[in-house]
Amino acid sequence: MNLLALLLIGFAAAPLAPVAVGVNRKGSSLVLALVPLGLTVWLATLVPAALSDTPPGLHVPWVPELGIALTLRADGLSMLMALLITGLGTLIVLYAGDYLKEHPRLGSFQGWLLLFMASMLGLVLADNTLLLFVFWELTTISSFFLVGFQSEEAEAREAALRALLVTFLGGQALLLGLLLMGWVAGTATLSELHAAGPALREGPLALPLLLLVLGGAFTKSAQVPFHFWLPGAMAAPTPASAYLHAATMVKAGVYLLARLSPALGGTEVWQGTLVSVGLLTMVGGALLSFGFTDLKRVLAYATVSALGTLVLLLGLGTAEAARAMVAYLVAHAFYKGALFLMAGAVDHGTGTRELPRLGGLWKALPFTGTAAGLAALSMAGVLPFFGFIGKELVYEASLHAPGGWGLAVGVALGFVLLVGTALRVGVRLFLGLPREGGQGAHEAGPALWGPALLLAVCGLVLGLMPGLAEPLLARAARDIAGPEGTPAPLALWHGLTPALGLSAASLGLGAGAFALRVPLRRTLSALHLERWGAERLYHLSISGLMRLADVQTRVLQNGSLHRYTFVTVATLVGLLALVLVSRVRWIEFPREELRLYEAVLLVLLVVSAFVAIRMKSVLTAVIALGVVGLSEAMVYVLLGAPDLALTQVVVQTLTVILFALVFSRFPVPAHREDQPRRWDALLAVAAGGLITWAMMNITAQPRHTELAAIYAARSAREAHGLNIVNTILVDFRALDTMGEAAVLATAGLGVYLLFRKPRQRRRA
């Protein structure tokens, strides 16, 4: 129950955040930060158990028939992600309290931040595929509100919508993939999927299943060609950007791939797709970071590059690559979190994030500059930072992979560009010549530079003492790649190896890329990549969708009630005809004599219907429809269904009364079209004929079906009712009945709003 309590505390804190801010605005961030801090300490006590072969877990059946259960599990990989989520969450909550201290909706922001943290925590602890998907979508929704928090700005609204659409579509693909996976494997428990690995990798559904899962992971973790939404999400306040990029949302797709690697990995499609997409994303993201001057956007593209590196390592599928992946994930969380928080402090102290306008900020921002310098050195992979260890492990895994030196050279190109980016954002910004944007710069309070400095120092401490993280990282790597071929422990120095040579070369060439930053930016600007990339396709899709919606609105929603009815009935006829045509068969009508009273009743039905459509008087037409309804009730009586007949009489009587009252309130139109509409007549005949044909098909089917027997057997025993029709409506299909009741209530509300007096409408 410890894991469930962790989640409940996280979700309970979210709605209480606005209350805490309202009670004590200045001290609220300290109080709210106690929640993620307490969760971090609690998780730390569970680390020894997570490192064992029987990690802590929880299983509570939810919908056993569908394989849905509240199943939680904290193994090494989950624990590593959970500690990053809550640990960085503590610092981000503190940072946000000072960064947005003047914002009127600080409480709302802190609430969404805590909800996002709890959702991510549930995602990494979930051991059921459908439960994981629930938390997956919760992160999508909460991140939408974080990115679009400054809703008064059009850029923030557009960025939030873009992130929502891309990740939501990926989420739908993921849902289909998870459902297929559960169906093929026979289980929805993540920790049991590896046993069904052969069926998942080699079955007839292996390729579509894999592509659907990759679609969800690639959209969430901003892989090419879905990378464009992530830099746009920089419209979010800096605390949200730092949290999303350092350890949470964008790492969710990487975590999913790591979690499913034992079940889906090892195939040529898996390896080829992940390695190629990851390498393209790594190099492309690092290159695109040179095309921008906004500090947060530059860091965002560097994050895209790092995510590509993690995906590439997962594609390699070796134990060495798994160790490199978890090490680089931790290194990235520390240095990228510090750099994003530094960007917010610089923006707060100078009023701008434009790199060409900033320089020589060390004297004005010494603590922020120290944090930025340490984080940038770790990002560049300089000895003795943990980023150096992570980069060396990436090189080693690449050199020992099937691609060998060719793959390592591609990885080196990405690291060269990242080194240049690190020098741009963490060194030149503070050690370069003073610029006009730095005039009047001042250091912010400890709440703004303290979290960044702490994260940067953590990167240095872990580099000097990697043994502190070795047990957890080793277990996480084992959860990804399995126990076979466990690599050697982490170490700062591996000797004079080819990886060390590549690392040193990337530093030197990265300095050259930094020196050529201006020509690179001009070249990228001249290429106009935004005109040809995925972002352009996204904008074209959205504009096309809006044009289609505009055309549909003009055609279908032009204010004509007649057209609404015509389109609705025509759609019904088309769908019904499609089904009937595909299953055409002759129907043998029952050979029974037509009795006199049946013939009279039939004539009455036809005449009443004809009068209803020919009468110009609305009241006369309504009465004629009433006669049609009462004639139908007589049919029920003759067929031995008095209960249906009574229902029909009551409903028809009320319908006639309501119609008469409603139509009496309608204004008399100045112009009435008296010419009969031929298309209306054809549609009416087609609708009546098809419905008759469908009813004849239905009645020709065997009456004693298996479903009928089930209803008859279970109505009295489980629903405690002897009337099978009633138990079907009230018990077995209660949701349908509730939906119909909701439709009637909505229609009634619409009628009430329609007939309110003009004064009431204006007041509303």
Measured between alpha carbons, how far is 299 from 76 in angstroms, rounded to an integer? 29
Q: Is residue 569 helix, strand or coil?
A: helix
Cα angle 419, 411, 82 (rounded to 5 degrees) comes to 80
Predicted confidence at residue 421, as pLDDT, reads 94
Across 34-48, 295-309, 439-453, least confident range? 439-453
The span from the CA of 141 to the CA of 146, in Å, is 9
Residues 6+ apart with CB under 8 A from 50: 56, 74, 75, 76, 78, 79, 472, 475
Residue 674 confidence (pLDDT): 47
Listed range (60-74, 591-605, 693-707) with the worst mean pLDDT: 693-707
Note whether 345 and 365 are within 8 A (CB). yes
> How many C-beta atoms surround the C-beta of residue 157 within 10 A?
15
Sign of CA dihedral 750, 751, 755, 756: negative
Name residue 736's amino acid.
D
The arithmetic mean of pLDDT across residues 435-442, rounded, is 77
The mean pLDDT of 526-539, rounded to a whole number, is 74
Specify the pLDDT at position 647.
84
8 Å CB contact between 430 and 372: yes
The 3-class SS string of 182-209 reads: HHHHCCCEHHHHHHHHHHHHHCCCHHHH
Share of the chain above pLDDT 90, in %: 43
Spatial distance between the Cα atoms of 321 and 408, rounded to a whole number of angstroms = 13
DSSP-assigned states of every residue in 40-69? HHHHHHTHHHHTSSS--EEEEEEEGGGTEE
**Cβ count near 31 (within 10 Å):** 17
Write out pLDDT tens, residues 413-434: 999 999 999 999 988 888 877 8
Longest pairwise C-alpha distance within the chain:
106
Residues 662-688: pLDDT tens digits? 776 666 554 454 445 677 778 888 888
User: How many other CB atoms sit within 10 Å of the CB of residue 174?
Assistant: 26
Lowest pLDDT segment from 5-19, 452-466, 552-566: 552-566
Distance CA 197, CA 485 (A): 19
Length of the chain equals 764
Question: What does the buried/exposed string (b/e) look like for 393-412 if buried means 16 or more CB atoms within 10 Å of the residue's CB?
Answer: bbbbbbbbbebeeebbebbb
Q: Which residues contact 196 (CB under 8 A, 6 or more apart)?
A: 184, 185, 186, 187, 263
Q: What is the pLDDT of residues 363-402, one digit of tens each?
A: 888 999 999 999 999 999 998 999 999 999 999 999 988 8
d(CA 706, CA 727): 17
Nearest Cα residue to 375 out of 343, 431, 337, 416: 337
Using pLDDT thresholds of 50, 70 and 90, give the confidence band for residue 119. Answer: very high
Half-sphere exposure of 704 (CA within 13 A, CB side): 1
Q: For residue 217, what pLDDT is reported?
A: 94
Nearest by Cα to 245 from 229, 223, 224, 230: 230
- Alpha-carbon torsion 248, 249, 251, 253, what sign? positive
CA gap 297, 250 in Å, rounded: 15
Closest CA to 242 of 105, 94, 115: 94
Average confidence (pLDDT) over 66-87: 90
| Phi, psi dihedrals of residue 755, rounded to the nearest 5° | -105, 15
Q: How far is CA 156 from CA 149, 233, 348, 610, in A?
A: 7, 8, 19, 59
First CA to last CA across the chain, in angstroms?
A: 49
Q: Is the pLDDT of residue 142 over 60?
A: yes
Q: What is the pLDDT of residue 535?
A: 78
**Position 587 pLDDT exceeds 80:** no
DSSP string, 116-182: HHHHHHHHHHB-BHHHHHHHHHHHHHHHHHHHT-STTSHHHHHHHHHHHHHHHHHHHHHHHHHHHHH
User: Could you give the percent of the chain with pLDDT greater than 70?
Assistant: 93
Beta strands 68-73 and 57-63, pairing class = antiparallel
Looking at residues 688-694, what average pLDDT do you find? 82
Per DSSP, the three-state class of 260 is helix
How far is residue 690's CA from residue 701's CA, in Å, rounded to a whole number?
17
Predicted pLDDT at 531: 63
The structure tokens listed for 675 are 């010419």
SS3 content of the chain, % helix, strand, coil (to 5): 75, 0, 20
What pLDDT digit, counting tens, does each position of 493-524 carry? 877 889 899 999 999 999 999 999 889 888 88
> Cα–Cα distance between 94 and 459 in angstroms, integer?
20
How far is residue 297's CA from residue 524's CA, in Å, rounded to a whole number?
Answer: 15
Which pLDDT band, with edges at 50, 70 and 90, does 619 fall under?
Answer: confident
Which pair of tokens denotes residue 321?
């690559």
The answer for residues whose C-beta is within 8 angstroms of residue 342's C-beta and 6 or more apart is 368, 371, 372, 375, 426, 449, 452
What's the CA angle centered on 216, arms 146 and 393, to 5 degrees? 90
| Interval 252-301: pLDDT, tens | 999 999 999 999 988 899 999 999 999 999 999 999 999 888 899 999 99
Q: How far apart are CA 62 and CA 66, in angstroms?
A: 9
Contact yes or no for 285/304 (Cβ under 8 A):
yes
Mean pLDDT, the chain, integer:
86
C-alpha to C-alpha distance for 197 and 749, rounded to whole angstroms: 54
- Does the pLDDT at position 132 exceed 70? yes
Distance CA 732, CA 378 (A): 61
Of residues 51 and 66, which shows the higher confidence score?
A: 51
